[in-house]
Structure 1
Amino acid sequence: MQPDRRLIYLMSVGFRRLQRGMEQQSLSAAQAGVLFVLGQKDGALIGEVADTLDLVPSAMTGLATRMERAGFIRRQRDDQDSRALRLYLTPAGRDARKHATARAQGLNAKLIEGFSEAEIDVVSRWLTSLQRKFPKDTEQSQTE
């Protein structure tokens, strides 16, 4: 039996299923991403978080608004530049991050189950290559 080589289709379906697997009762996969970023760099600028998660600024603003309303983060103006917003985890956000981290670890374990280290290295290398082959500014340069 030949392997299915419809890579775009397979990635799309796999991504949606992973997102559903990552989502928890009150936490979306995108929100979990914000919690992971802030867990590494609490007080990051909203633009830094958006860039790390490969989100456009308007999507990040809406995401931050929803997360602030849910009590996961708080927004604060930057001390040196009042136009800039920094995001901070709240105690509820830190707790949600712990649960999301455990969930992500479980999903990662399930993803690699049944594959050798060498196979996982190839998959990781291939997925990483997508970032080089399709840089963030590809959409912008195609519409200009």
Structure 2
Amino acid sequence: MKHRLIYLLNSGQRRLQRWTQARTLEGGVTSAQAGLLFYLDKNDGAPMSAAAAALDLGAPGMSGLADRMRSLSLIERRRDEDDGRAWRLWLTDEGRVALEYSRASLTEMNAKLTEGFSEAEIDVVARWLSSLREKFPVMDET
């Protein structure tokens, strides 16, 4: 095979992760935290289970993420009024500020990621990356 896709995908992900972590140190949030902020921006008060599914996280990962974000005052976690066993997640004012910072960072990141490529090329890359989600379904983390 002419392309080392697994290597390139893993290497690119690690480099992108390091780049985003450096941005975190400048006052932002982690990429996982940003993902939840973006989700809650459109789904404030969502059940934790729905947020976990949207972010491709298992229950333990979602619980840990919610705990960390709650300790940073980015979200609130409240009992579901209809199901006392379930929790719902809400953005705080601090979370909305972090969301705006993340939105600006994401704009910069997307510009960097797409630089030098045509829209048609990016469409193919996006289609290929999306196909990974279908070809490799989520495995149960429990």
Asked whether the two chains share a fold, i.e. TM above 0.5, the reply is yes
Alpha-carbon shift at residue 8 of structure 1 (Å): 1.2
Q: Deviations over 1:3-38 (max 9, x none)?
A: 971111111121122223333135211111111110
The match for 1:92 among 88, 91, 94 is 94
Q: Is the 8 A contact 1:22 1:100 kept in 2?
A: no
Counterpart of 1:6 in structure 2 is: 4
RMSD, aligned CA? 1.6
Give the alignment of 1:1-144 within 5 angstroms.
Answer: 5-23=3-21, 24-25=24-25, 27-136=29-138, 139-140=139-140
Q: Deviations over 1:46-70 (max 9, x none)?
A: 1111111101100110110010001
Q: Secondary structure at the match of 1:27?
A: coil
Q: 5+ unaligned residues in a row in structure 1: which ranges?
A: none
Q: Could you tell me the percent identity over the aligned residues?
A: 51
Q: Structure 2 CA distance, aligned partners of 1:43 and 1:19?
A: 28
Q: Which runs of 5 or more residues in structure 2 are unaligned?
A: none
Q: How many residues align?
A: 136
CA contact (8 A) 1:31 1:63 kept: yes
Q: Provide TM-score, normalisation by structure 2.
A: 0.89
Partner Cα distance (2:4, 2:19) in 1: 22
